[in-house]
Amino acid sequence: MTKVAYITLLGRFPWAVVNTYYKLLTMGKKADRIYVFTEERYKDNLPKVVKALETISKAYNLDPIIETEVVPNYGFFVADKKFRELFSRLEREGYRIGLDITSGRKALVAAAIVQVRKFPVEFIVYMGLLDPDFPDRPYMMIPTHMQPIKNFLGDGDVGNQ
């Protein structure tokens, strides 16, 4: 059985993190561990995002370990090092990596993608929002056709569903 560590990047929109995780669960993707990375300026959103991830996980009878990591604003070099260390540890522990870049800011997204390519990856996803009138709503309050999801690995596991 494949163990998956889900890494999500929190930026301006907490709902983007929560909604992408929820959509992946509805598609059968599950994580044994969840890591939420964010920059200093968004750290105040971490408690409510973690609580939402816990609540959604419990609804699916899951109880993943959830950890957070705060890096300096525009901290590409720090993020690069933190991702490399985390991905190395996860690989040693037998995990495949699922990366969600939906909410992430450029410094974190770039660092995560540069590092993840060296490790066993399950998926790299981005969920779009085709109507800007819906940014701060739960997944189920937004028409699903307005929330396409793309797996950049192109393996068909996660597609525009």
Confidence of residue 157 (pLDDT cuts 50, 70, 90): very low
pLDDT of residue 23: 93
- Report CA 48 to chain centroid distance, whole Å: 15
Find residue 127's DSSP bridge partners: 149
Higher-confidence residue: 129 or 63?
A: 63
Question: Which element (helix H / strand E) includes 22?
Answer: helix 14-26
Across the range 13-40, mean pLDDT stands at 94
pLDDT at 159: 43
Q: Model pTM greater than 0.75? A: yes
All structural domains of the chain, each given as residue ranges with its CATH number in brackets, are 4-158 (3.40.50.10770)
In contact, 21 and 56? CB cutoff 8 Å? yes
